[in-house]
């Protein structure tokens, strides 16, 4: 992998990740951009203790641009975009409309491919390995920033999820605090350690592997399963069999096997509702250990992949119980979801 750092016209950093070591990236951003001015503020909810990012400037962000005006496509034929090059493998750049910035963290965009009409599931294993390398590199770089406590790599796909740009891409949030969901996981892991003397994540992976009913895919270095208490209609948790705190700690064997495993899971998501259905909307989220809090050593890196689609043509909306009280009601039995995802395997 070759990494090339450059700057956009407004001063934001842009990074090219190329599979070829001889790739040359000398294109210059010729747009007349003014420096980014963000108005991010972190406020603390006094009842729940949650941190909330107030980012009113995001109201002006690009929303579903017309065909031919995608800001994530390469700059070609006189049309200038966020990526100055005429083609690229993988690109990461600072978000022009960040939810977090400066001393309050950082937000980045990850373009998985220059092909506007592709999806992640269309990528080959070499390209997927390059994306994994970019996620890992960004985790390492952002971890070195003094204001960053946790790095979150994720992808939203589908207008049903709320995606504003159709180009295959994801995002990376570098939070200046430990997120509420991660803090809850750390609390549960600590309680389990006190009560049993064992690691909670290890016990979950061991239980799912032994029972097998909810396992979707098992390989030498990864285990994918529908969780026992799944929140979403179709939800997969993917764990490396050797527990590590974050992407930086994955060994070579797990890295080599990941592309095939992940692509297979994404393709099953697109097949599970049957032929003729539109692409499945989903969120794919890497859960990594925070960098400083007690309990980091007990945390387990894992990926959570889920969709809000519950049947063909029907979506799972977060209504009163979920949105008002954070109590999820799942209409699909986790064991049934796992069986259907196994049946959707590539032949």
54 and 43 Cβ atoms separated by less than 8 Å: yes
- Both tokens of 88, joined, read 């690229």
- CA angle 185-341-306, nearest 5°? 40
179 and 150 Cβ atoms separated by less than 8 Å: yes
Tell me if 167 is assigned to a ligand binding site. yes
Tell me if 107 is assigned to a ligand binding site. no
Return the DSSP state at 42. E
303 and 254 Cβ atoms separated by less than 8 Å: no
Instruction: Quickly list DSSP for 230-297.
Output: -SSSEEEEEEESS--SSGGG--HHHHHHHHHHHHHHHHHHHHTT-TTPPPPPEEEEEE---SSSTTGG
- Both tokens of 213, joined, read 């009913």
Q: CB neighbours (10 Å) of residue 262?
A: 25
Tell me if 111 is assigned to a ligand binding site. no
Indicate the burial class of 189 (C-beta count within 10 angstroms; 0-12, 13-18, 19 or more): buried
Tell me if 292 is assigned to a ligand binding site. no
H-helix segments, the chain: 125-143, 180-196, 200-211, 252-271, 325, 334-343
- The residues assigned a catalytic role are 169
Give the CA distances from residue 320 to residues 46, 143, 232, in Å, rounded to whole numbers and listed in that order: 22, 37, 15
Burial string for 110-144 (b: 16+ CB within 10 Å, else e) reads bbbbbeeeebbbbbeeebbbbbbbbbbbbbebbbe
Beta strand pairing call for 302-307 and 234-240: antiparallel
Known binding-site residue numbers for Zn(2+): 70, 73, 116, 167
Known binding-site residue numbers: 70, 73, 116, 167
């Amino acid at each position: 992998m070759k990494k090339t750092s450059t700057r956009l016209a407004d001063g934001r950093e842009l990074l090219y990740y190329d599979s070829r070591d001889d790739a040359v990236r000398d294109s210059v951003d010729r747009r007349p951009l003014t420096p980014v001015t963000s108005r991010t503020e972190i406020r603390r909810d006094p009842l729940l203790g949650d941190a909330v990012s107030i980012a009113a400037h995001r109201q002006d962000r690009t929303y579903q641009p017309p065909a031919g005006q995608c800001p994530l496509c390469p700059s070609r034929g006189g049309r200038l975009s966020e990526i100055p090059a005429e083609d690229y493998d993988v690109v990461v750049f600072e978000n022009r409309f960040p939810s977090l910035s400066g001393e309050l963290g950082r937000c980045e965009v990850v373009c998985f491919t220059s092909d506007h009409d592709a999806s992640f599931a269309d990528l080959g294993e070499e390209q997927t390995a390059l994306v994994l390398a970019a996620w890992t590199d960004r985790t390492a770089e952002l971890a070195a920033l003094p204001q960053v406590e946790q790095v979150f790599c994720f992808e939203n796909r589908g207008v049903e999820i709320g995606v504003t740009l159709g180009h295959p891409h994801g995002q990376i949030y570098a939070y200046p605090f430990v997120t509420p969901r991660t803090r809850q996981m750390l609390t549960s892991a600590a309680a389990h350690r006190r009560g049993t003397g064992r690691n909670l994540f290890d016990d979950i992976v061991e239980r799912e592997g032994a029972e097998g009913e909810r396992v979707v895919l098992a390989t030498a270095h990864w285990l994918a399963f529908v969780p026992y208490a799944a929140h979403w209609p179709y939800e997969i948790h993917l764990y490396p069999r050797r527990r590590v705190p974050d992407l930086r700690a994955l060994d070579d064997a797990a890295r080599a096997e990941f592309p095939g495993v992940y692509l297979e899971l994404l393709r099953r998501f697109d097949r599970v509702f049957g032929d003729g259905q539109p692409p499945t909307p989903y969120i794919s989220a890497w859960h990594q250990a925070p960098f400083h809090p007690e309990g980091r050593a007990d945390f387990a890196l894992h990926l959570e992949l889920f969709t809000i689609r519950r049947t063909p043509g029907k979506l799972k909306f977060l209504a009163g119980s979920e949105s008002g009280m954070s109590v999820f009601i799942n209409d699909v039995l986790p064991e049934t979801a796992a069986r259907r995802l196994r049946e959707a395997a590539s032949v």
